[in-house]
Structure formats: structure tokens, C-alpha cells
């Protein structure tokens, strides 16, 4: 089978050579990208909490889970693009790779436009259904409408970054996020402190910075002189590539959307405890997001590495990729969570000076961060399965193990023992159950691949 040679220093051959060092070289820029992005997002929340008040801070809480609910289905398609670009790249299929790149970017534009209509149109009724308190709902609606107006550029950045990640390039998305993030912080300070725009200023700063990051990633693809070069005149949707992307991406997106449904139900339960609990929960979520983002880099590494090796039919390396990524995600999750637990009060104090808000945040972090590595293990295993082209089965397992179980938990155990701590315990329980089932699924699939390996050798 032919192979595609690296066109520049940023691309990576994942099918040959040592795995541990390559996975780390691939994942560390991704971790830094995610951590930078969260730092800039945290700056949004810190600026709002300090200069616009706790009601404005509380207003941001319901928007995150609801935004994810709308966005995740379409973001799943970028996972499909990542898997297929990695597979065609590993298999040396240049024509298919070119078709996939142009289909992915065109799909990003269409997805972004659809999200503008959905997000702007449904923001108000959806927030009302979540029982968002009357004193914050108007600010939440304003934030969501402005945020969703920028969806086309957000989709372009995420699909473009997925293409770069698939060929091993995780450094340039890091550079682009850094530039856009610095701009985001500057605009936050300007819009919120100087112009007193509150949550509207934060949303506008986010959108404008995303315009910059999207422009940089598209420019990178256009100027690429290798296999993933983007020609804007060739933007099109190749039907068979779209179908393949949908087969892999839609289950991933639906899984993410259903996760968001369960999180919306949890957020609605949190909302019932009042705006101070909402503010503490928002700050805690934002801090623990640093751990999730770092672990998610290994999930993305699992997708790309297993995708390239599956395309090259180097199935033996996939088991090694799974083991290395699982061990690394445990180390990352435990260390970062430990740091957050030690410094939880000073970190939460950055978001609010209200002692009650801080205590609500501490209570959340004590439960989530102690067990967060389990979430990382679950996500890595899902990433391996997706990279191998299995999308529907992991989705069904995740929907059952995480989403359905959390819903049952809310209406049974939480309904009887109505505390936030009982609500938060649903997270580690569902992560554990889902990981165990995903692991069994991987072992069954890998055993089938063993028969294919034997036939290839014969």
C-alpha cells in the first residue's frame, strides 16, 4: 500500500516508530491548546464575576450545558472528519484525502449556519425550560444569541483543526489559539470594564477572537503544499465522503448531545438551589474543565493514532496505543485533579469573593476531581473505538451507561436524598460503568482483528 510522505515538519507518521514519545509529542500541544482556551474562557468568567456581579456570573452557568446540547451533534461530524482524514492519510489514498478535506470544510460552513438559526431561535424557550431563575435569564439569553451568531467561524476552526490533528499537526492550532485567546482577554477587559457591556461583552469578545482563530487555520490549510491542501475554489460536498463522515460523526455527536441532555437535567437540578449555588457550580465546572481538557488531548490522540494505524492495517499497534493512552490519562487526571483540590479555595476565589459561592464550588470539586481520571479512561477507550471506525456501539453504551443512568439517578436517588453532593456522585458512578463496558467491547473487537492479522500474514 502506498504512503503519503510528510509535507512539512508539523505532520507526523503515526504508523512507524516509537509510540510513547510520539503520543506525548502529539498530545502535549493539544493539552496546552485546551488549557490556554480554558484559561481565556476562565478570564471571561473572572471578569464577569468581579466586574459585573454574581447574577451575571450565574447567568453564564446555564448557557454552557445548553450550548453543548446544540453544538455537540455538529461537532461530532468533526470527529468523523478527523478519523477519515487520518485513515486516508495512513493508507496513502491521496484522492480520497483531498475529497475529504474539501467536504469537511464545506460541511463546517453549513453546520455553522444551521447552528445560528437553532441557537438564536431557541435560546429563550430552552433556558426557560431549564428553570433558569428570572433574575438571570435575560442575561443568559443575550449571551447565547451573540455566541451562536459566531457559530460558522467556530465550526471552521474546529473542523480545520480536526484535519490538522489527523495528520499529526497539533502545534499550529496551539499557536492560533494563543493569538485568539490573548485578543479575547483584551476585548473582555475592554467590553466589560470600560464599556460596561456585561455578559454581552464577553460573548462578543469570544466571537471576534474566534473569527481570528478560524481565519488562521483556514489560511494554514490554503497555504499547505501537501496532501491536506485546501483550494477554496474546490469547496464541495462529495456524497460518499459525507456519508462516511456522518456514519462516524453523527453517533459521536449524538452521544455528546445526550451527555449534554443529562448535564442540562443536572444543571436544572442545580438551578433549583438558587443563584449562589449556580455561581459556585459554574466556577467549579470551569476549574475542573482544565483537567477534562488535558485528558481530552489523549482522547484525541487515541482517535488519530488508531485511525492512521487502522488505515495502514497495523492492528497490533492499536492495542499498544490503547494501553499507553490509558496510562497517560490516569497520570494526567490524578496529578491535575490533586493540584486543583489542594488549591481549590484560592482558585475559586478568583471567580468570586462570596464565601458561600466558594464553598459551593469546593463541594463540587471534592467529588468530581477525586474521581475525574475515570472520565478520562472512558473517553480514551471511546476514542480508540472511533478511530477503528466503530461509532454506533460506543454511542449506545455511552448513552445507556452515562445519560440514561444519570437521568434515572436524578429521578430516584437524588429525588429521595436531595443534596448537591448526591447529585454530583452520579458522575463517577456512570464513568466507571461505561468504561468497563467499553473495555469489554474493545477486547471483543480486537480479537476479531486478530483473525484479520492472521489472514494478512498468511
Q: How many CB atoms lie within 10 A of CB 113?
A: 13
Q: What is the distance between the alpha carbons of residues 205 and 185, in angstroms, rounded to a whole number?
A: 8
Q: What is the pLDDT along the chain (458 residues), one digit of tens a residue?
A: 445 555 567 788 888 989 999 999 999 998 888 888 777 777 777 777 777 767 777 777 667 767 877 787 788 889 889 989 998 998 888 999 999 999 999 999 999 999 999 999 988 898 888 777 788 888 889 989 999 999 999 999 999 999 999 898 989 988 998 899 889 889 988 998 888 888 889 889 989 999 999 999 999 999 988 889 999 999 999 999 999 999 888 887 777 777 767 777 777 788 778 788 888 888 888 888 889 989 999 998 998 899 889 888 888 899 999 999 999 999 999 999 999 999 999 999 887 888 888 998 999 999 999 999 999 999 999 999 988 888 888 888 888 887 788 888 888 998 888 888 888 898 899 899 999 999 999 999 888 876 665 555 54
134: cell is 428570572
Long-range (24+ apart) CB contacts under 8 A made by 443-451 are: 445/385, 445/388, 445/390, 446/315, 446/318, 446/319, 449/315, 449/318, 449/388, 450/315
Q: What is the distance between the alpha carbons of residues 34 and 47, in angstroms, rounded to a whole number?
A: 20
**Greatest CA span in the chain, whole angstroms?**
72
| Beta carbons of 39 and 294 less than 8 angstroms apart | no
Measured N-to-C along each axis, helices 239-271 and 420-457 cross at an angle, to the nearest 10 degrees, of 160
Measured N-to-C along each axis, helices 355-387 and 239-271 cross at an angle, to the nearest 10 degrees, of 160
Cα end-to-end distance, the chain, whole Å: 17
Q: Please tell me the pTM assigned to this model.
A: 0.78
Q: What separation in angstroms does the CA of 58 have from each of 61, 222, 272?
A: 5, 41, 13
Amino acid at each position: 500500500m502506498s504512503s503519503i510522505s510528510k509535507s512539512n515538519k508539523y505532520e507526523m507518521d503515526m504508523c512507524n516508530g516509537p509510540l510513547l514519545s510520539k503520543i506525548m509529542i502529539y498530545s502535549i500541544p493539544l493539552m496546552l491548546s485546551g488549557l490556554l482556551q480554558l484559561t481565556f474562557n476562565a478570564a471571561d468568567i473572572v471578569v464577569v464575576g468581579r466586574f459585573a456581579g454574581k447574577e451575571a456570573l450565574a447567568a453564564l452557568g446555564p448557557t454552557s450545558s445548553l450550548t453543548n446540547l446544540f453544538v455537540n451533534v455538529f461537532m461530532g461530524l468533526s470527529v468523523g472528519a478527523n478519523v477519515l482524514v487520518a485513515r486516508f492519510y495512513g493508507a496513502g489514498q491521496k484522492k480520497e484525502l483531498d475529497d475529504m478535506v474539501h467536504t469537511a470544510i464545506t460541511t463546517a460552513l453549513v453546520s455553522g449556519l444551521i447552528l445560528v438559526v437553532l441557537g438564536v431561535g431557541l435560546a429563550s424557550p430552552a433556558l426557560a425550560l431549564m428553570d433558569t431563575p428570572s433574575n438571570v435569564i435575560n442575561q443568559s439569553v443575550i449571551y447565547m444569541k451573540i455566541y451562536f451568531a459566531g457559530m460558522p467561524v467556530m465550526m471552521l476552526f474546529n473542523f480545520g483543526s480536526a484535519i490538522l490533528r489527523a495528520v499529526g499537526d497539533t502545534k499550529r492550532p496551539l499557536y492560533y489559539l494563543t493569538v485568539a485567546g490573548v485578543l479575547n482577554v483584551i476585548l473582555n477587559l475592554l467590553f466589560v470594564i470600560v464599556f460596561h457591556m456585561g455578559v454581552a461583552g464577553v460573548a462578543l469578545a469570544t466571537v471576534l477572537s474566534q473569527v481570528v482563530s478560524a481565519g488562521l487555520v483556514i489560511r494554514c490549510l490554503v497555504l499547505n503544499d501537501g496532501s491536506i491542501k485546501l483550494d477554496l475554489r474546490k469547496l464541495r460536498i462529495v456524497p460518499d465522503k459525507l456519508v462516511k463522515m456522518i456514519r462516524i460523526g453523527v453517533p459521536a455527536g449524538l452521544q455528546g448531545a445526550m451527555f449534554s441532555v443529562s448535564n442540562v437535567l443536572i444543571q436544572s437540578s442545580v438551578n433549583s438551589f438558587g443563584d449562589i449555588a449556580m455561581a459556585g457550580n459554574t466556577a467549579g465546572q470551569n476549574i475542573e474543565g482544565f483537567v477534562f481538557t488535558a485528558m481530552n488531548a489523549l482522547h484525541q490522540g487515541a482517535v488519530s493514532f488508531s485511525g492512521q494505524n487502522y488505515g495502514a492495517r497495523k492492528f497490533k499497534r492499536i492495542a499498544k496505543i490503547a494501553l499507553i493512552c490509558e496510562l497517560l490519562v490516569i497520570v494526567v487526571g490524578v496529578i491535575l485533579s490533586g493540584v486543583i483540590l489542594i488549591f481549590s479555595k484560592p482558585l475559586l476565589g478568583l471567580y468570586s469573593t462570596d464565601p458561600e459561592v466558594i464553598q459551593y464550588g469546593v463541594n463540587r470539586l471534592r467529588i468530581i476531581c477525586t474521581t475525574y481520571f475515570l472520565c478520562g479512561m472512558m473517553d480514551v477507550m471511546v476514542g480508540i473505538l472511533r478511530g477503528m471506525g466503530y461509532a454506533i456501539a460506543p454511542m449506545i453504551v455511552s448513552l445507556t451507561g452515562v445519560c440514561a443512568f444519570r437521568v434515572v439517578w436524578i429521578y430516584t436517588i437524588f429525588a429521595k436524598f436531595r443534596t448537591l453532593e448526591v447529585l454530583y456522585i452520579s458522575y463517577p458512578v456512570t464513568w466507571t460503568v461505561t468504561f468497563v463496558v467499553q473495555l469489554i467491547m474493545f477486547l471483543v473487537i480486537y480479537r476479531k482483528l486478530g483473525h484479520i492479522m492472521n489472514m494478512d500474514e498468511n
